[in-house]
Chains A and B, each alone.
Chain A
Amino acid sequence: SQTIHQWPATLVQPVGSPLSLECTVEGTSNPNLYWYRQAAGRGLQLLFYSVGIGQISSEVPQNLSASRPQDRQFILSSKKLLLSDSGFYLCAWAAGRAGELFFGEGSRLTVL
């Protein structure tokens, strides 16, 4: 069966520090991969998605970037965090563009 792992679960970082959130999927090949951010009490905002290695599409101009160095690995990064980057970040995968979405457990980022 397929599983998705996301880490770290919780992160507290000072303004201006770098960020790296990692996500890996097991049990499937060539998944579509997604990074979402969820503001408190709100729905999810799509940040990045990838249909293959090295293929990244950005949905919202911001202080973040994403990379897909391996088929089942998706990384969310920032060189210098802003206060506004605080939030709940969720990684997801789907088998193709019409497939069911499956989410990781999320990473809670607090920027101080």
Chain B
Amino acid sequence: KQEVTQIPAALSVPEGENLVLNCSFTDSAIYNLQWFRQDPGKGLTSLLLIQSSQREQTSGRLNASLDKSSGRSTLYIAASQPGDSATYLCAVTGNAGKSTFGDGTTLTVKP
């Protein structure tokens, strides 16, 4: 059974800092890994999708990497802003097309 762990559970940083969120998974037989952002009381917004054959994806100040063999992914946020404050979730999709989610990292960026 796939298990996804996100560390840390919460993170507070001053504005302008670069930061890294971590995601690990137990079964490397995945189709893809996806990072999401969730604001309080809202649905999930897709940030980046990395297919199993890819090593990384970039969008603006966000960069996500995938090391399938070690079961790890990182989300790098450059020059953090208060508007980046949210919960970030990672999810891995397995062979059956079902996704397993981590519990998320709640990020607070202080002005």
Binding site for B on A (CB under 8 A): 6, 32, 34, 41-44, 46, 49, 51, 59, 90, 92, 94, 96-98, 100-106, 108
Contacts and interface: CB of A to CB of B under 8 A. Distances in A.
B46 A105 contact: no
Interface in B18-77: 31-32, 34, 36, 41-46, 49, 51
Contacts of B31: 97-98
A49 B103 contact: no
Size band of the interface chain B makes with A? 20 to 34
A51 B36 CA distance: 23
Contact residues of A: prevailing secondary structure: strand
B51 A90 contact: no
Interface of B: 4, 31-32, 34, 36, 41-46, 49, 51, 89, 91, 93, 96-104
Given A43-B103, A43-B104, A105 B42 contact: yes
Given A90-B44, A98-B32, A43 B101 contact: yes
Contacts of A34: 99
A68 to B, nearest CB: 15
A80 B105 CA distance: 34
Given A43-B4, A46-B99, A59-B98, A100 B49 contact: yes
